[in-house]
């Protein structure tokens, strides 16, 4: 059995459901396939979803898209911090 590291799934972001949805959309606009993990917990109990916490919603991508995704997420978080 051959393991292909390009197909390994990794978490690139965790936070509240709305933030995770925005990040997922930004990644998809950059042609990076992604999906949300634990999104139902973020919808059912949003007060339980904190950034990086046990109830946070995670954005998952393929490992070969990591570098491009990190740049997009860093730009997003930088812009959020400027607005606040």
pTM of the model: 0.76
Per-residue b or e along 13-24, where b marks 16 or more CB atoms closer than 10 Å to that residue's CB: bbbbbebbbbbb
pLDDT in tens, 21-30: 999 999 999 9
pLDDT at 39: 74
Spans of all domains in the chain: 5-83
Q: Has domain 5-83 been given CATH number 3.40.50.720?
A: no
- 41 CB burial (10 A radius; 0-12, 13-18, 19+): middle
List Cβ neighbours of 47 (8 Å cut-off, separation of 6 or more): none
């Amino acid at each position: 059995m051959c393991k292909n590291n390009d197909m390994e799934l990794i978490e690139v972001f965790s936070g509240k459901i709305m933030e995770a949805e925005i990040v997922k959309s930004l990644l998809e606009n950059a042609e990076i396939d992604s999906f949300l993990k634990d999104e139902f917990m973020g919808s059912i109990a949003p007060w339980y979803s904190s950034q990086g916490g046990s109830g946070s919603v995670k954005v998952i991508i393929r490992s070969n898209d990591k570098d491009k995704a990190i740049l997009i997420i860093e730009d997003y978080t930088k812009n959020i911090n400027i607005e606040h």
